[in-house]
Amino acid sequence: MKTTILFPLLMVLLCDVLLAEPIDVNGRFQATAPGGFPDGWVMHEWGGYKPFPDVKTVSAAYEGNTALSITNVLGDDGGAIQTRARFPARSGAVGRVSFLVKGKGLAWVTFYRWGEKGEWNGVIVSSPFNLSDTWQPHVLTIPIDNGHTCETHAVTLAIGGKMGAEILLCSLTLDIQPPRIVGDTRIPKAWTMFVPVDKALKPSREQLQSIPETLGEAKAQTATLISNTLDFASLAGPGPRHCVWAFAPIEAKYDCDMTVGAGAGGAMQYYLNGEPVFDAPAPGNADSPVEIDSHVKNVRLKQGTNVIAVRIVTNRADSVLKLAGPLDLRGAVRRLQFSKRTFEENFDGPTVRCSGNPRLIQGNPTPGLLSVTGQGVFQTDAKLAIACPNHLAPLPDKSDANVFAAAGVRIQNFGQDPSQRRNVAFEIVASELTCQIRCREDSAFLTLSVVENENPLETLQLPSNCLPADFVFGVNGSGQWTVSIHSLVDSRTTSASGKRKGLASPAVEFSYRLLAEQTRAEVTVDNLVIGLAVQESKTSATPFQIDLVPQFDPVQVGWKKVFDEEFDGDRVDTSKWYFSPTSEKDYAKVHDGQLEIVCNWATPDKTKTKSASLYSNEVFGHGYFETRVKFRQQSGWWSAFWLCTHGPSNPFLDGWEIDIYEDYYMGPKNPGEPPRGILDHNLHVFACGTLRSWNYGSKLPGKVDDWYVIGCKWTPFEVSYYLNGKLIQSEANHSPYNSVTFDPFNHAAGCVPLHAILSGCCGKSGGDPTKGKFPESFFVDYVRVYEYPHACDPVVRLTKKPDESTYILKPGEELHFQAQVEPSAKTGAKIKQVYLFDSGALLDYRSAPPYDFVVRTTQDYYDGTNFVKPGRTGIRPDWDRGLHAFCVFAQDEQGNVGRSENVVKLLRKNGKTGPYLGQPIQLPGEIMLSHYDEGGQGFAYSDGTPGNGASKTFRVNEDVDAGETVIGGVSGGEWLKYTVHVKRTADYTFTLDYGTPSPKQPGPKLMVDCQAVGDFQTPAHEFPDWRHTSQAVLKSVPLAAGEHEIVLLMQGSYNLGALKVEAE
């Protein structure tokens, strides 16, 4: 039996889970002493949580239930408690925690890992959630993985909050679903191929434990695993019966289990360290499509390097090998799609062809859509049979295991009024098999059960808010049953399958039933379908291609050098570089063919440091960025080579941050210890005011005080880091790679040219300055930039796009995009995929024309996209109150990528706002920018940081950093709204008081009545501070007499004073 479920990592959502036994964690928070510390829980005594918070129990806090109280959270990193007991769990298990909570600030729940011998094994990334002053239910689904030092064998549950949080929590439950797919080691991307090989060649066990240079007469060739697939067609040539071998190393930090999957078009033998794993002789998988889970097995890795070796003999139809590890297998789903319909009722007409006497209504197919469809409402007090004509479907032949006799239903809801929903079950009956979907009024979950002659075969749970959803239940000629559930809310698919126990009849008799449990039952459905369905396979991995090579030399591949700094002079060359505003300019020295960046004490008490940063005057797009550097070691600062713009807020508009390296952890952890030699590599992306970040760590291969060449290859779909010309090896939970690699589908896309930056950075991230010895320097030998060639890119044009005259949108609107894609005139390479992105995040893709996309600005739509996937902070971006930049990308079969122009829209929440103090600002006149409208975050303004950091007396309960006469702390993507009254129709001049020391950034965009009218130009002033004494002017802005709405959209970082509006 096999159940395949797609688990989005660390989403604070009600996710699909198999039933698991609840674990007693004293979730009722009983305490030996009334009001005391809850039994079975202990204080988390990590140093970052000191001083420890106050923890107690509060009786009858909510409907008679005792609650856990955590207050006075004053530690720098917050405070937490954890369970005393440890609960068995392995990598691949899934923990589900449900509770009710209220309070203020940010709270979180997570697991701490423990090894087989009781050793500490690290913390799982926490699932944070915002607290409110009313009780809110939460169900958190947390995947459990292995730690850094050993396999996970147990976990403890922890609850905590950030500094300042106040938490009141009750009715806590915990269950842990054991893993069906084990481990989290990634399948290698880089493979060594040998083709053609004599089919009679049989390497020994010892020969399969390493990667040879030749195999028989075949020499080694390299290939990249793309979308879990190696295709031998180009290497082996046309026709069947070619013998191919593929080898790859797989690294393990310690002995551990992992689940592997494979499928091949022909005979296949799969070995790990010389031991056979799979042996599928021809015809192998001929009766079903080649999939990553055609064959699945658990294997044991040894610490260090392991070797996978796979032999296939191609057949007539296929020359592919599909390979998967546990992360890939967890992302695989099976969805039944109808290929032939013998009966369908869509409830659109005045009558229906099924029994049950449904009431016919018109309704939206999913919340947020304006279109309506016909729907049927069935009701019963006991049991209602719903029969359909043409209800018999022939059982497909055994030779085609991928075709199923099937019946489907789209369930809209179990009661149109949520407050009146009761215990009810809806069944799809397939002769002796029944698929039942049960709803209970006291549960946030639906229970789906598959039963054969009253014998249970499978049970799983689904969040009740997955409705509306399509349920399709089918059986095939091989005795297999399968059910797929596709939610219209978030486009997620869940599937389960298994073997029936009894003999199948030649035909399947389908019907439906509605069952009431104690009270009247109601279900609203849209579409009943009976017929034949094909099982389509899909993995969570979006198909795309990158050229992930173990070694890279930009000169060898013909990339043009566009920047070369050898530091041959005696001072910083200001034609190439400029200093950041906070730099100590004399701390950047050029001598002996090197740049030296110094760090020294900034205060007499030696508690703070100061240094310098250099920005390239030019900005550079996709390319290879390289420097030769000698790192620093002292605590209290760190060095960095990175790419960025000033205050990036959107990767499609003003850039992102690529940290090629930061050496926070280069020096010793404690005085007297040896240096650690660890580099940190980051990608930081902002969208709608929320930061999403991902990072890797890597260890230097040599001495800390050696020179190293470190580089970054940035192409449209890849950001990879290299050390001394070799791809840096690393792993992280957010990534499918064994290397320091980011891509647009697991991370984000970016296309705005960036500055190359060398920095001496000061702050806590570099350690405690009082433990450092200064002055200290890091050294740079050269900086070189090579341009990525775009000459072979396909051409992408938008033939349909949203109305450009309206810049501001409100939630609920639809945006339509249509792209015309042409292959490169230089290569003629075929188009493989076309993708729609929003602000660096994938929304949707197409594998064939027409390349049409519809974006619905609704919660349901965005919840089903990458846009709301959090980075390592766990905070989901707010999609409904910020700037969105849409762009269509296309990739051809050679991996070249083209893109369309951006389509930019500002999304603003629906809600009532009003002028400051109730009176519109009179124009002509002066708009004091701190007098923005009243109405709150997302309605009258959008600000990315909580609280007013500029004043303790003015607008203190809002988030804009506003004093009476100044707006400070402005960042790109933020906006302010003003209600004005214009006395007479005329053209007007707008003069903005601003200040910024940061050069080369766009000024605010001015919008009137949802239409953009111009951008202010805001060059940097000569001062190192943010005084707002500069002025920017926009002329000839037409305004008609009467009331208007003005919005100022920030596109950089500056302080703002007043906005003078004068008639021309």
Radius of gyration in angstroms for the set of CA atoms belonging to the chain, rounded to a whole number: 31
Cβ neighbours of residue 899 closer than 8 Å, sequence gap 6 or more: 716, 751, 796, 887, 888, 889, 890
Question: DSSP label at 895?
Answer: S
Does the pLDDT of residue 1058 top 70, yes or no? yes
Question: Per DSSP, what are the bridge partners of residue 385?
Answer: 513
Beta-carbon contacts of residue 1001 (< 8 Å; ≥ 6 apart): 645, 646, 647, 654, 972, 1018, 1051, 1052, 1053
Distance of CA 438 to the CA centre of its chain: 32
pTM: 0.70
Kindly tell me the burial class for residue 705, based on how many C-beta atoms sit within 10 Å of its own C-beta (0-12, 13-18, 19 or more).
Answer: exposed
Q: What is the pLDDT of residue 356?
A: 95
Residue in 183, 114, 127, 186 with CA at minimum distance from that of residue 153? 114
* pLDDT-based confidence at residue 369 (cuts at 50, 70, 90): very low
The 3-class secondary structure across 167-209, one letter per residue, is EEEEEEEEEEECCCCCCCCCCCCEEEEECCCCCCCCCCCCHHH
Which whole number is the average pLDDT over 831-850?
94
166 Cβ partners below 8 Å, 6+ apart? 70, 71, 73, 103, 104, 105, 131
Fold for 561-680+702-716+749-787, please state it. Jelly Rolls (2.60.120)
Segment 1039-1048, tens digit of pLDDT: 999 999 999 9
Dmax over Cα atoms in the chain, in whole Å? 92
Which residues touch 1043 (CB under 8 Å, ≥6 apart)?
A: 920, 979, 980, 981, 982
- Residues 400-420 pLDDT 10s: 778 899 999 999 999 877 666
Q: At 718, phi and psi to the nearest 5?
A: -150, 140
Which of 43-57, 273-287, 659-673, 689-703 shows the lowest per-residue confidence on average (mean pLDDT)? 273-287
* Paired residues of 982 in beta bridges: 923, 1042
> What pLDDT is attached to residue 13?
28
Residue 818, judged by CB atoms within 10 A of its CB (0-12, 13-18, 19+), counts as middle
pLDDT at residue 7 in the model = 25
Tokens encoding 785: 């930039």
Amino acid at 858: T
Checking if the pLDDT of 606 tops 60, the result is yes
Cis-peptide into 716, omega within 30 deg? no
Q: What is the 3-state secondary structure (H, E, C) of 671-728?
A: CCCCCCCEEEEEEEEEECCEEEEEEEEEECCCCCCCCEEEEEEEECCEEEEEECCEEC
Tell me the pLDDT tens digit for each residue of 986-1043.
999 999 999 988 887 889 999 999 899 999 999 988 877 888 999 999 999 999 999 9
- What percent of the chain has pLDDT above 90? 61
Give the up-direction half-sphere exposure of residue 595: CA atoms within 13 A in the CB hemisphere.
Answer: 27
Question: What's the pLDDT band for 537 if we cut at 50, 70, 90?
Answer: low
Are 766 and 638 spatial neighbours (Cβ–Cβ below 8 Å)? yes
CB 297 within 8 A of CB 181: no
More confident residue, 382 or 946: 382
DSSP line for 943-954: -SSSS-SS-SSS
Give the count of beta carbons closer than 10 Å to the beta carbon of residue 219. Answer: 12
Q: What is the DSSP letter of 6?
A: -
Confidence of residue 917 (pLDDT cuts 50, 70, 90): very high
Hey, what CATH class is 2-177 in?
mainly beta
Q: For residue 838, give the nearest of 875, 878, 868, 867 by alpha carbon.
A: 867
* Category of 872 on φ-ψ map: left (φ > 0), alpha (ψ -120 to 50) or beta: alpha
* Locus of tokens 């085609």: 400
pLDDT at residue 264, rounded to an integer: 87
pLDDT tens-place string over residues 131-151: 988 998 888 888 999 998 999
Band of residue 316 on the pLDDT scale cut at 50, 70, 90: low
Q: Give the pLDDT confidence score for residue 3 in this predicted structure.
A: 30
pLDDT for position 318 = 65
Check: CB of residue 109 under 8 Å from CB of residue 140: yes
- 975-982 vs 921-923, strand pairing mode: parallel
What local confidence, expressed as pLDDT, does residue 878 receive? Answer: 82
Three-state secondary structure of 582-595: CCCHHHEEEECCEE
Mean pLDDT across the stretch 646-657? Answer: 91
Q: Where are the domains of the chain?
A: 2-177, 190-331, 334-535, 561-680+702-716+749-787, 795-907, 916-1063
For domain 795-907, the question of CATH label 1.10.10.10 is answered with no
Bridge partner list, 1043: 981
CATH of the domain spanning 190-331, picked from 1.10.10.60, 2.60.120.260, 3.30.499.10, 3.40.50.1220: 2.60.120.260
SS (H, E, C) 624-660: EEEEEEECCCCCCEEEEEEEECCCCCCCCCCCCEEEE
CATH class of 334-535: mainly beta
Identity at 756, one-letter amino acid code: A
Return the minimum-mean-pLDDT range out of 174-178, 463-467, 506-510, 643-647: 463-467
More confident residue, 973 or 252: 252
Written as one string, the DSSP assignment of 80-115 is: EEEESS-EE--TT-EEEEEEEEEEESEEEEEEEEE-
Q: How much is the pLDDT for 366?
A: 59
Min mean pLDDT across 66-70, 164-168, 675-679, 778-782 is at: 675-679
Report, as an integer, the average pLDDT of 877-899.
Answer: 92
Mean pLDDT score across all residues of the chain: 89
SS3 480: strand
User: If pLDDT is split at 50, 70 and 90, which confidence band does 795 have?
Assistant: very high
- Mean pLDDT of all residues in 508-536: 90
- How far is it, in rounded angstroms, from Cα 404 to Cα 390? 16
916-1063 classified as CATH 2.60.120.260: yes
The pLDDT value given to residue 1: 27
Q: What is the average per-residue pLDDT within 460-487?
A: 88
HSE toward the beta carbon, residue 37, CA cutoff 13 A: 13
E runs forming strands in 869-966 = 883-892, 897-899, 903-907, 921-923, 925-928, 941-942
Amino acid 240: pLDDT: 67
pLDDT score of 816 more than 70: yes
Identical topology for domains 2-177 and 795-907 = no
Rounded CA gap, 1023 and 1055, in Å?
Answer: 13
Per-residue pLDDT, 402: 80
868: helix, coil or strand?
Answer: helix
Q: What is the DSSP letter of 735?
A: -
For 964, half-sphere exposure in the C-beta direction (CA atoms, 13 angstrom radius) is 1
Q: Which is more confidently placed, 1052 or 716?
A: 716
Tell me: the pLDDT tens digits for 13-33? Answer: 233 344 456 899 999 999 988
> In which band, very low, low, confident or very high, does the pLDDT at 626 lie, cut at 50, 70 and 90?
very high
